[in-house]
Amino acid sequence: MNRPGAGMRTLLIVYHSMTGGTRQMAEAALRGAAAEPGLRARLLRAPEAGPEDLLGAAGYIFATPENLAAMAGLMKDFFDRTYYPALDRIAGRPYAVLVCAGSDGRGAVRQIERIATGWRLRAVAEPLIVLTHAQTPEAILAPKTIRPEDLARCEEVGAALAAGLAMGIF
């Protein structure tokens, strides 16, 4: 397994959000991860994250809205900028996926899973898709409020991944 150097292990959460839904989900995962002693949790917006952030982390949570049955363009840009610099350098590391979607979410999950397969990452949680049921242009573009029970599930994903990293399970 390819692990970063000695010292405190880092969980990197990379996200994009236009209407706030995915940001709330990523922040909930961060809250869950931050409660784990001996682990550093970092939350970065997709445009701010680069190859060095991936290489310096022991595990990942990728959070995106689903737009037009695909991951958000700025998440795709993140993967485009980091894929080859990280290729063959992060194999075996754990990851999880959070998707905020109006009605489905599986298209975004499939895209991220294909990229993770290329990097040979290891999924350690089922993809978590939160449906907002936004179906009109106005509802799709409106600010989102994620339900507390869905935020709790995101927090659990962050906590579980952080605990596994801290204990050396992943």
Q: Is residue 3 part of a domain?
A: no
Q: What are phi and psi of 61, to 5 degrees?
A: -125, 125
Note the pLDDT of residue 5. Answer: 47
The whole-number average pLDDT for the span 99-113 is: 97
Q: Is residue 4 part of a domain?
A: no
Q: Number of structural domains, the chain? A: 1
Q: Is residue 106 part of a domain?
A: yes
The whole-number average pLDDT for the span 78-94 is: 98
pTM of the model: 0.95
pLDDT tens column, 28-52:
999 999 999 989 999 999 999 999 9
Note the pLDDT of residue 34. Answer: 96
Q: Is residue 97 part of a domain?
A: yes
* CA 166 – CA 161 distance, rounded (Å): 9
Q: Do 140 and 134 touch, CB atoms closer than 8 A?
A: yes
CATH number at residue 145: 3.40.50.360
DSSP helix/strand/coil, 167 = helix
Residue 3 has pLDDT above 60, yes or no: no
Residue 6 has pLDDT above 60, yes or no: no
* CA 117 – CA 133 distance, rounded (Å): 29
Question: Which range marks the domain in which residue 105 is found?
Answer: 9-167
* Strand 70-71 relative to strand 59-67, pairing: antiparallel
* CA 137 – CA 139 distance, rounded (Å): 6
* CA 136 – CA 116 distance, rounded (Å): 32
Between 3 and 20, whose confidence is greater? 20
Residue 7 has pLDDT above 80, yes or no: no
- What is the percent of the chain where pLDDT is above 70? 96
| Mean pLDDT of the chain, nearest integer | 95
Burial 102-121 (b: 16+ CB within 10 A, else e): beebeebbebbbebbeebeb
The whole-number average pLDDT for the span 79-86 is: 98
pLDDT tens column, 120-146:
999 999 999 999 999 999 999 999 999
